[in-house]
């Protein structure tokens, strides 16, 4: 449909198969690759350098950081301009690439464990283009409590009561570097504290609404209201278990997904809601199995009465607003300091 093709559609959370995943430039079993993005009218994707939570020994910390750097390097390699994709690390670059008809790759980091306990490593992530870092994944880390403590890591229900001292410092450093603070996967306390602490509005790059699906990964009304209060955004995501309790992927539909969008929009307003897939990380259901089916979401949103400007806001406008705010509030000298360090 014409409207869908004209929009700057940004999927704010996609994982990459690593280290031996199929080629991004070919149509493969990956849920997201360049041919599927082109076919489905997905203009841009935030691709995550994801590190699973593990032990916090010096060796494990070093390994986590090394893996994140290797993944960010792989994500940068996806932006090979002669094959129709481009890595973009600022809002202006995204706008330009969209005007040029080039598919957009935005690097990101998932799980603050990737820092390896060293605050200064955030600058290295930013130097490789990372525009957000998710504070936690499943399992508490040195920065904060997760929504899902890990029994196999001997996690208590709460370890820090939200953000640790290092976690608070990391929020400040991300603000300074112009990286967004992603509160997906964090505990409620972590999320509420980060929302109040961060100089730029926090977002969840992939979470849903707890009132519709009672899962620890989803946000309750108090959290949604906090996002509205600080100017943040929730990017509704396509993980079946976060959309409909007890339903399999084949039983979950685009309508179920858009019910979460509707709820969040009614509660906190269109400017605080966005869309994401978590493809290749657990996302995908009947009607949005891969990036090639992305237009189905726009069709459903139109059927539900959303207008062009509202759909544009959901599909990337709100995320772009946060990116620009993060850039404006970053310390201006950082870019040259980072460049000098690498
Ligand atoms: Zn995730």
Report the separation in Å between the CA atom of 185 and the middle of ligand 1, taken as the mean of its atom positions.
Answer: 7
What does the pLDDT read at residue 20?
87
pTM confidence score = 0.96
Annotated domain spans of the chain:
2-341
Candidates 48, 29, 5; CA nearest to 277 is 48
What does the pLDDT read at residue 269?
98
Report the separation in Å between the CA atom of 255 and the middle of ligand 1, taken as the mean of its atom positions.
Answer: 22
Report the separation in Å between the CA atom of 280 and the middle of ligand 1, taken as the mean of its atom positions.
Answer: 10
Lowest mean pLDDT among 32-46, 81-95, 174-188: 81-95
What does the pLDDT read at residue 80?
76
Report the separation in Å between the CA atom of 206 and the middle of ligand 1, taken as the mean of its atom positions.
Answer: 7
What does the pLDDT read at residue 21?
84
Report the separation in Å between the CA atom of 314 and the middle of ligand 1, taken as the mean of its atom positions.
Answer: 20
Mean pLDDT of 243-250: 96
What does the pLDDT read at residue 271?
98
Q: Could you tell me which CATH class the domain 2-341 is placed in?
A: alpha beta
Report the separation in Å between the CA atom of 132 and the middle of ligand 1, taken as the mean of its atom positions.
Answer: 13
Lowest mean pLDDT among 209-223, 260-274, 280-294, 328-342: 328-342
Share above pLDDT 90 across residues of the chain, in percent, rounded to a whole number: 94
Report the separation in Å between the CA atom of 113 and the middle of ligand 1, taken as the mean of its atom positions.
Answer: 13
3 state SS for the chain = CHHHHHCCCEEEEEECCCCCCCCCCCCCCCCCCHHHHHHHCCCEEEEEEECCCCCCCHHHHHHHHHHHHHHHHHHHHCCCHHHCEEECCCHHHHHHHHHCCCEEEEEEEECHHHHCCCCCHHHHHHHCCCCEEECCECECCCCECECCCCHHHCCCCCCCCCECHHHHHHHHHHHHHCCEEECCCECHHHHHHHHHHCCCCCEECCCCECCCCCCCCCECHHHHHHHHHHCCEEEECCCHHHHCCCCCHHHCCHHHHHHHHHHHHHHHCHHHEEECCCECCCCCECCECCHHHCHHHHHHHHHCCCCHHHHHHHHHHHHHHHHHHHHHHCCCCHHHHHHHHC
- Measured at the CA of 48, the angle between CA 77 and CA 35, to 5 degrees, comes to 55
Q: Does the pLDDT at position 333 exceed 60?
A: no
What does the pLDDT read at residue 342?
47
What does the pLDDT read at residue 341?
53
Q: Does the pLDDT at position 31 exceed 70?
A: yes
Phi and psi angles of residue 275, each rounded to the nearest 5 degrees, phi first:
-130, 140
Mean pLDDT of 9-38: 95
Report the separation in Å between the CA atom of 137 and the middle of ligand 1, taken as the mean of its atom positions.
Answer: 6
């Amino acid at each position: 449909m014409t409207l869908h093709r004209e929009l700057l559609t940004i999927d704010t959370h996609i994982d990459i198969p690593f280290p031996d995943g199929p080629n991004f430039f070919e149509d493969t079993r990956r849920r997201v690759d360049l041919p599927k993005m082109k076919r489905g009218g997905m203009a841009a994707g935030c691709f995550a350098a994801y590190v699973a939570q593990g032990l916090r020994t010096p060796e494990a910390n070093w390994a986590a950081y090394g893996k994140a750097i290797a993944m960010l390097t792989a994500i940068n390699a996806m932006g090979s301009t002669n094959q129709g994709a481009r890595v973009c690390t600022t809002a202006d670059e995204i706008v330009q690439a969209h005007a040029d008809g080039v598919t957009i790759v935005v690097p990101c980091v998932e799980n603050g464990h990737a820092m390896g306990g060293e605050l200064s490593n955030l600058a290295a992530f930013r130097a490789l283009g990372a525009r957000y870092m998710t504070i936690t994944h499943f399992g508490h880390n040195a920065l904060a409590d997760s929504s899902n403590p890990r029994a196999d890591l001997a996690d208590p229900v709460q370890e820090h009561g939200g953000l640790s001292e290092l976690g608070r410092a990391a929020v400040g450093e991300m603000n300074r570097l112009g990286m967004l603070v992603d509160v997906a996967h964090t505990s409620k306390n972590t999320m509420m504290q980060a929302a109040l602490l961060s100089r730029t509005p926090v977002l969840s790059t992939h979470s849903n609404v707890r009132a519709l699906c009672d899962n620890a990964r989803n946000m309750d009304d108090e959290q949604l209201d906090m996002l509205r209060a600080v100017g943040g955004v929730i990017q509704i995501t396509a993980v079946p278990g976060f959309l409909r309790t007890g339903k399999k992927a084949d039983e979950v539909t685009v309508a179920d997904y858009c019910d979460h969008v509707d709820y969040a929009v009614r509660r906190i307003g269109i400017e605080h809601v966005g869309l994401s897939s978590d493809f290749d990380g657990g996302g995908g259901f009947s009607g949005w199995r891969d990036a090639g089916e992305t237009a189905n979401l726009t069709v459903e949103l139109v059927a539900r009465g959303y207008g062009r400007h509202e759909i544009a806001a959901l599909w990337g406008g709100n995320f772009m607003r946060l990116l620009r705010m993060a850039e404006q509030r970053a310390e201006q000298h950082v870019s040259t300091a980072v460049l000098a360090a690498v």
